[in-house]
Amino acid sequence: MMVAGIGCRKGVGVEEVLAAIETALEAHGLAMTALSALATAAFKKDEEAIAAAGRTLSLPVIVVDDSALQAASSDTPSHSDLSQDVAGTPSVSEASALAVAGTGAKLLGPRTVLGPVTCAIAISGDAP
């Protein structure tokens, strides 16, 4: 399973979310078709651009509850003071991706920041 974790400022456009996902995947030599799901934090569940990106890509958008987000936070290499203050995690995108990818998941690298959107790619621990 490969998951794109998404963090963003409020009110971003779907084009910005899609561009961040594409940029993050390209950094690892991957195509959109490699993704299994999108993930984000519970406080972003009503962010229309993230939902629209899931619809555009025909991927589920999995909302990570606060306890799962916190559990994955210790494995995030990036740190945003704003993210820490608002979400209680140093990186919404990284923690969300790790939480959804499951036990033993690994980030392919630190989050990609593209304007008001961050995207991190995680693979499940059972991936080859």
Q: For residue 111, give the DSSP letter.
A: P
Nearest to 91 by CA among 74, 75, 78: 78
Kindly tell me the sign of the dihedral angle through the C-alpha atoms of 7, 48, 20, 124.
positive
22-34 pLDDT per residue, tens? 999 999 999 999 9
Total-model pTM: 0.91
The token pair that represents 95 in the structure block: 């923690």
Domain ranges of the chain: 9-120
106-126 pLDDT per residue, tens? 999 999 999 999 999 999 986
Environment class of 33 (CB within 10 Å of its CB; exposed 0-12, middle 13-18, buried 19+): exposed
Look at the domain 9-120 and name its fold: Nucleotidyltransferase; domain 5 (3.30.420)
